Amino acid sequence: MRNIEFGLDTFAYATDDGRGGEVAGDQVIRNLIEEAVLAEEVGIDSFNIGEHYRKDLMDTASPVILASIASRTTRLRVGTAVTVLSTQDPVRVFHNFSTLDAVSDGRAQLIVGRGSASESFPLFGYDLSDYEELFEEKLELFTRLLREKQVTWSGKYRPPLNNEVVNPPLPSGHLPTWVAVGGSPQSVVRAARYGLPLMLAIIGGHPTRFRPYVDLFHRTTAEFGHGRQKVGIHSPGLIAETDQAAIDLQWPYWRALFEQEARIRGWQVPSKDHYLAEVQGGSLYVGSPDTIAPRIANAIRGLGADRFDLAYASGHVPHEVRMRNIELFGREVIPQVRELLAQNTTEVTA
């Protein structure tokens, strides 16, 4: 059996304080560090922080938070979910995370992507119409930085490099870097072309609908002459003692989150029926450990995945609920999933 990585992903939401308000942002960050420390204690493999620039998300400087987490842990991998490479300087990103890798004794990792949220484009002076071209150019440079010690490069969006010696404090090997894909075949082929692992953001519908993308990825990776690359799954969820408790806990925060996104992006606001359909048969892993473990095992088996990241407790879910979610995921769900995957069956049931 493959060694599957189980991680937690978060956008560092400004959490509910239980009195109708929000916890102050600085306290949210300190609470987040405690959540990561608990993640290591209960056996979770990695803790990964996103990148946004909104007043209710505290993940604008993930390398700083991750460095603090690294100082409080010894085994936990520390990474991103995702780094918006399109609006960052690849050289700076490389040095930040190679330094994090040194601080953590080789535990840093990244997921890079174009970002589904667009607020970083005007903030850093980029035109959203260059969305695709920006990511292509910056991923090409970042991959060069990963693999070469001396880089000569030129592009459209940053000054050229002329035999630049890249000598950050990396431990042996290079910095593990995954490419995030939300469902575009072109993005799958791009990840395969660079020979980087693929992280599928599966936030709706049954996960096996992404099987054609996995097959495309493995086929094109081989055609580009690379060895087998890993595939990961990023999906949202919340785990509680019972199915109904989890459903009731997540629903108001999930609804508020999607109402906000609907206003920003012009989406239709999902109904509770839609929410329950995703809980029961989609990619929203909300329920008890005994319900969630078989669903995760089936998703991993169905896609041949090497990694599963739970984007835990979406929205402004209180810190105490998030902590209990982490404990149940590490102590109960992950051991069950590993046991189910060790069985010689094609599908398991709750």
Backbone torsions φ then ψ of 168, nearest 5 degrees = -75, 170
State the pLDDT at residue 26. Answer: 97
Q: Identify the CA nearest to 30 among candidates 319, 346, 332, 324.
A: 319
* Separation of alpha carbons 258 and 239, rounded Å: 20
Place of tokens 């998030």: 322
What is the pLDDT tens value at each position of the chain, 350 positions in all?
A: 579 999 999 999 999 998 889 999 999 999 999 999 999 999 999 999 999 999 999 999 999 999 999 999 999 999 999 999 999 999 999 999 999 999 999 999 999 998 778 899 999 999 999 999 999 999 999 999 999 889 999 999 999 999 988 877 676 667 999 999 998 899 999 999 999 999 999 999 999 999 999 999 999 999 999 999 999 999 999 999 999 999 999 999 999 998 887 887 777 888 999 999 999 999 999 999 999 999 999 999 999 999 999 999 999 999 999 999 999 999 999 999 999 999 966 665 55
State the pLDDT at residue 268. Answer: 81
Strand pairing report for 177-181 and 307-312: unpaired
Q: Which fold has domain 5-342?
A: TIM Barrel (3.20.20)
Tell me the DSSP string of 320-343: HHHHHHHHHIIIIIHHHHHHHHHS
* Extents of the domains making up the chain: 5-342
State the pLDDT at residue 346. Answer: 63
* Separation of alpha carbons 265 and 262, rounded Å: 5
State the pLDDT at residue 173. Answer: 66
